[in-house]
Amino acid sequence: MTPGVQPEAEFRSAVARLLEVSASALTFTSLSGGVSSDIWRVDTAGASYCAKCALPRLKVTALWEAPTARNAEEVRWLRTVRPWIGEQAAEVIAADEQRGIAVLAWYDPQRWRNWKVELLSGRVSIELAGRLGRLLGTIARLGAERQDLACSFDNQTLFEALRIDPFFRHLLTRYPVVATLIAELEEQQNTLIHGDFSPKNILVDDKGDIRILDAECATWGCAGFDPGYLLAHLLLKLEHTGNRALLSAAKHFWQCYLMETRRPDRVRNQAHPLLKEQDLARQVSLTLAGVLLARVDGKSTVDYLTDTQQRSVRARALTLLSQPPLAVTSLLNDWLAL
């Protein structure tokens, strides 16, 4: 929280309009934590909310600009998946598409903790990782059955600006092998993806309940992207902390994801795109490797790895990019020896 900072009058009135109250009835408290939006806790006499406003320039050292229309895409993603995963998707109370403002339910930090913080503090629940695998698997499976979403979430331009360019194209001159990953992400699009499915965008409580936030990069995209992205973040934290429970969590996450995407009681169409395990494994492995590389040599680098750890991550990422394994399970089983 940043005490004393107050929003501009126009933003205040826009939030008041969305909540159908007078601006003077609202108290705003600025929250730190995000890099791509201004985030506020908003209190009325009877309730609290979270107001999120997309920034045209991200709060990272390198120049990284992005269209503010991404706020409306987050809102649409949250609303689309809510019938599939229920309240595990953050609740959208109201949104102003033109201004790029979303008002969400308030998830009180007294109860809800950021999963990244939990993992880095050594609180690694394997069971929770499995639940996240099933949750993401459900979205991937149901998304793939909704061809209409290919049109309504045709956000490739946004995905290029927020993910492919800054994470991967940025690395091409130094590592030409990244071209394989870019081609995969641009050509293999088969379901609805979140696009930033990392522990920092997941809130958890003591009971293991989950709230997914921050779907600004949502698009019809490559199924392997979301699981690959999450696995990369778990493996980066493993590198940093040496806590083997993170590897167990990664393995369980993947097993549950895979089981959920191919449940025989749910998937009747044998041509379902997620059933081709080798394709999925290639997408996941390439994404995982690309994200690892981007997090050590890209625009938005992790702040917690030593030079030696960075070298080790880089070497493994380059091996995977040039020879993606045929199964993610073997990649994870061999991870420590890679």
Ligand X SMILES: Nc1ncnc2c1ncn2[C@@H]1O[C@H](COP(=O)(O)OP(=O)(O)O)[C@@H](O)[C@H]1O
**Residue 214 interacts with Mg ion (CB under 5 A)?**
yes
Residue 206 CB, shortest distance to ligand X, in Å, is: 16
138 lies in the site for Mg ion, by CB under 5 A: no
Smaller CB separation from Mg ion, 190 or 201: 201
Largest Cα span, the chain: 61
Asked whether 229 and 291 are in contact (CB, 8 A), the reply is: yes
Residue 261 tokens read as: 């995407």
The partner residues of 203 in beta bridges, in order of sequence, read 114, 211
C-alpha 239/C-alpha 337 separation (Å) is 13
CB of 95 to ligand X, least distance (A): 13
Residue 101 near which of ligand X, Mg ion, none (CB within 5-8 Å, type-dependent): none
User: Shortest approach of ligand X to residue 115 CB, angstroms?
Assistant: 10
Q: Which is nearer to ligand X, 94 or 318 (CB)?
A: 94
Nearer to ligand X, 64 or 175 (CB): 64
The site partner of 247 among ligand X, Mg ion, none (C-beta below 5 to 8 Å per kind) is none
Nearer to ligand X, 18 or 39 (CB): 39
Residue among 42 and 139 whose Cβ is closer to ligand X = 42
Stretch that binds Mg ion, among 29-37, 177-185, 251-259, 283-291 (CB under 5 A): 29-37
Regarding 201 and contact with Mg ion (CB under 5 A), the answer is: yes
Q: Give CA separation, 252 vs 134, 199, 212, 235, 266, in Å.
A: 10, 15, 19, 13, 21
198 binds Mg ion (CB under 5 A): no
- Where does this chain bind ligand X (CB under 6 A)? 31, 33-37, 39, 50, 52, 90, 104-107, 114, 200-201, 213-214, 216
Strands 48-54 and 37-43: antiparallel
216 binds Mg ion (CB under 5 A): no
The helix/strand/coil state of 81 is: helix
- Alpha helices (runs of H) in 70-216, residue ranges in sequence order: 70-85, 115-120, 126-144, 148-152, 156-159, 178-187
Give me the phi and psi of 29, to 5 degrees please.
-125, 125
Q: How many CB atoms lie within 10 A of CB 117?
A: 13
CB of 180 to ligand X, least distance (A): 29
71 is a contact residue toward Mg ion (CB under 5 A): no
141 or 163: CB nearest ligand X: 163
Q: How does 287-310 read in b/e, with b if 16+ C-beta sit within 10 Å?
A: bbbbbbbbbbbbbbebeebeeebb
Which of 162/238 has CB closer to Mg ion? 162
DSSP string, 279-318: HHHHHHHHHHHHHHHHHHHSSS--SS--HHHHHHHHHHHH
Choose the one of Mg ion, ligand X, none that binds residue 38, judging by a C-beta under 5 to 8 angstroms depending on kind. Answer: none
Site residues (CB under 5 A) for Mg ion? 34, 201, 214
